[in-house]
Amino acid sequence: MKLVVGLGNPGPEYAETRHNAGFRIVERVAQRHGIALRRERHLGARLGVGSVRGLRVGLLEPQGFMNRSGGAVAAALAQIPLADLGADLLVVYDDLDLPFGRLRIRPGGGAGGHRGLADIQGRLGRSDFPRLRFGIGRPPPGVDPADHVLTPFAGEEVTQLAALVDAAADAVETVLADGVGAAMARFNPDGGK
């Protein structure tokens, strides 16, 4: 079993924001593979389980706010034990420090200032699990990054977003089926570094 966690904020007021890139990507994977995401109150998340490239996969969207994502992930892992957390968990989230649409896959590491990922690491007591970062770009001068992440994509970004989310869903599927190394080599701009 594998578990893919997309990070975002719950509710319609946040649905189109940059901070919900993780939700968008997980929802695209769910759509492609006919996996229904259902509210699981005991987890504090939306969860769907199905098959992706012949693998049994859980897709999870924590429904607490971003900074409290770890509780839902810990609860899901108690219900869906993974054989190897370092290989079978993938967290997907937005990144201010990557240009819009750029993907970066890593096998582990620090949170890089992302509070949702930091909360997951704190709750699990480890950081050696794969992650896929989706670039949302830095805010314009004078705009607070905290405000920027809660704004919708705009202008030219909107026209490119669907194709970029599709590419990110491809990256998720590659991590699941072929492993982190293969996905890094294919999707990271520096060929896997």
- C-alpha to C-alpha distance for 153 and 164, rounded to whole angstroms: 12
- C-alpha to C-alpha distance for 79 and 155, rounded to whole angstroms: 42
Q: From 185, 86, 96, select the one nearest 131 (Cα to Cα).
A: 86
Catalytic residue among 19, 42, 114, 148: 19
Q: From 54, 91, 60, 57, select the one nearest 180 (Cα to Cα).
A: 91
- C-alpha to C-alpha distance for 164 and 160, rounded to whole angstroms: 6
- C-alpha to C-alpha distance for 45 and 176, rounded to whole angstroms: 21
> Is 42 considered catalytic here?
no
Q: From 57, 133, 53, 147, select the one nearest 91 (Cα to Cα).
A: 133
Catalytic positions, written as ranges: 19
